[in-house]
């Protein structure tokens, strides 16, 4: 006899979801970068598991948005709302969703944008008609759990977000819902799946401050960008790295000796603006200060005031890669640096403190 919560499909699989990501309703967001998985045109299907905590005035609970499409929980009606052309043209599900429990939501919009179907927990919850829309101007990043301005944070937990450039059938929606047992979205209209973020359970997901939720459609890392071993391990004083005063290669490490704020080492033409990168480095000695990465925007290493191996993710807005101090009078050493691009449409965690991955998941 098969387990009661498992369905049998051809080549499919059921996930034992263990993690979700909790958004604080203030400023948390997952930044998917400017290389949009979908630009808001053509057919769209979005699937997500949500567990709202509150519906506050500034908790217009954005589930996913990129400035050209918006899926959010309306704070005045507690209903799932979808728009393809800004706040003035929007459609909502017929049924409200509740706080304090997991609900599976799916929105399906046809290629002209004039018919939208809403599903809650596998059942149809309204069909809306809307005139065909023109994509909005602007080129913001895609975000999960917030908007570009950072003032529409979802308050609660989100898990298993998936995005297709086709309209799924009602049977495929039921397959995804699967009696409250999250289903592997990669086995539903696979050729049209543009992004799939498991929010803590996926390959390459890093449950830490400044961590990552990887796109499971392409959850892989690129090749090492610091290709010469001596440049990675600081085994010799090469000309690869440009260094500031007080930062020197010595004894097989990059040594910071009582240096000031923003002092460090860098290399130009390593990054592609808009791409996401993983950086790993060993802090081999530590006395004082803190360690940061800069690729157009400053990002802190987690636990950066101690020795040990440290990992951070960032979206580049510059071609120059820098490792530098975040405090005056810094005194420490680093070794074994690695820089790799994260493939697909990965999401970098912004303003999370590392405790936001939760084991309260859809069941």
The number of distinct structural domains making up the chain is: 2
Which run of H or E residues covers position 175? helix 170-177
Distance between CA atoms of 256 and 85, rounded to whole angstroms? 51
Domain boundary among 152, 171, 204: 204
Distance between CA atoms of 62 and 82, rounded to whole angstroms? 10
pLDDT at 14: 63
pLDDT at 69: 84
Please indicate, yes or no, if residue 334 is contained in any of the structural domains. yes
Residues 236, 126 share a domain = no
Please indicate, yes or no, if residue 250 is contained in any of the structural domains. yes
Res. 233 pLDDT band, cuts 50 70 90: very high
DSSP 205-262: -B-STT-EE-BTTS--B---SS-SHHHHHT-S--SSSEE-TTEEEETTEEEEEEE-TT
pLDDT at 237: 85
Please indicate, yes or no, if residue 358 is contained in any of the structural domains. no
Residues 114, 243 share a domain = no
Best CA proximity match to 253, nearest among 323, 343, 162, 300? 323
Please indicate, yes or no, if residue 216 is contained in any of the structural domains. no
**Pairing outcome for strands 20-24 and 357-358:** antiparallel
Residues 233, 199 share a domain = no
pLDDT at 136: 53
Could you tell me which residue, 290 or 12, shows the higher pLDDT?
290
CATH number at residue 126: 2.60.120.200
Residues 318, 267 share a domain = yes
* Burial class of residue 294 in the structure, from the number of CB atoms within 10 Å of its CB (0-12 exposed, 13-18 middle, 19+ buried): buried
Residues 271, 179 share a domain = no
Query: Each residue of 129-152: pLDDT tens digit?
Result: 765 455 555 557 899 998 887 778
pLDDT at 56: 64
Residues 261, 171 share a domain = no
What does the chain come to in residues? 363
What pTM, to 2 d.p., does this model score?
A: 0.91
Query: Each residue of 259-275: pLDDT tens digit?
Result: 999 999 999 999 999 99
Distance between CA atoms of 291 and 255, rounded to whole angstroms? 12
Contact 175, 183 (CB under 8 A): yes
Query: Each residue of 40-74: pLDDT tens digit?
Result: 778 999 999 999 998 765 556 899 988 788 898 87
Please indicate, yes or no, if residue 349 is contained in any of the structural domains. no
pLDDT at 120: 95
Residues 289, 247 share a domain = yes
Domain that holds residue 76: 20-204
CATH number at residue 315: 2.60.120.260
Residues 161, 58 share a domain = yes
Distance between CA atoms of 357 and 363, rounded to whole angstroms? 17
pLDDT at 9: 43
pLDDT at 138: 52
Distance between CA atoms of 126 and 105, rounded to whole angstroms? 12
Contact 29, 351 (CB under 8 A): yes
Please indicate, yes or no, if residue 11 is contained in any of the structural domains. no
Mean pLDDT taken over the chain:
88
């Amino acid at each position: 006899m098969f387990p009661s919560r498992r369905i049998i499909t051809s080549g499919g699989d059921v996930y034992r979801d263990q993690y979700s990501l909790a958004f604080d309703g203030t400023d948390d967001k997952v930044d998917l970068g400017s290389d949009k998985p979908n630009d808001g045109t053509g057919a769209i299907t979005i699937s997500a598991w949500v567990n709202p905590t509150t519906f506050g005035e500034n908790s217009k609970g954005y589930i996913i948005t990129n400035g050209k499409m918006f899926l959010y929980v309306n704070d005045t009606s507690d209903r799932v709302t979808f728009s393809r052309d800004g706040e003035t043209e929007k459609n909502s599900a017929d049924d409200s969703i509740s706080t304090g429990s997991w609900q599976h939501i799916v929105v399906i919009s046809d290629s002209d944008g004039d018919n939208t179907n809403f599903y809650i927990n596998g059942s149809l919850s309204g069909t809306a008609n809307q005139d065909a829309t023109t994509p909005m101007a602007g080129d913001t990043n895609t975000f999960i759990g917030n908007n570009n301005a950072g003032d529409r944070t979802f308050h609660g937990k989100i898990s298993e977000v998936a995005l297709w450039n086709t309209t799924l059938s009602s049977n495929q929606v039921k397959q995804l819902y699967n009696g409250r047992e999250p289903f592997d979205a990669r086995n539903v209209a696979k050729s049209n799946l543009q992004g799939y973020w498991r929010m803590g359970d996926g390959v390459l997901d890093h449950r830490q401050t400044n961590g990552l939720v990887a796109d499971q459609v392409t959850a892989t890392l690129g090749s090492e960008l610091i290709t010469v071993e001596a440049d990675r391990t600081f085994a010799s004083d090469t000309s690869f790295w440009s260094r500031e005063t007080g930062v020197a290669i010595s004894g097989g490490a990059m040594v910071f000796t009582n240096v000031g704020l923003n002092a460090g080492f860098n290399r130009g033409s390593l990054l592609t603006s808009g791409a996401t990168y993983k950086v790993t480095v060993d802090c081999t000695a530590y006395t004082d200060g803190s360690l940061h990465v800069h690729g157009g925007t400053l990002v802190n290493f987690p636990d950066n005031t101690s020795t040990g191996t440290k990992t951070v993710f960032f979206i580049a807005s510059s071609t120059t890669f820098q490792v530098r101090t975040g405090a005056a009078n810094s005194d420490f050493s680093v070794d074994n640096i690695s820089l790799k691009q994260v493939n697909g449409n990965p999401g970098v965690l912004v303003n999370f403190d590392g405790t936001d991955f939760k084991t309260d998941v859809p069941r």
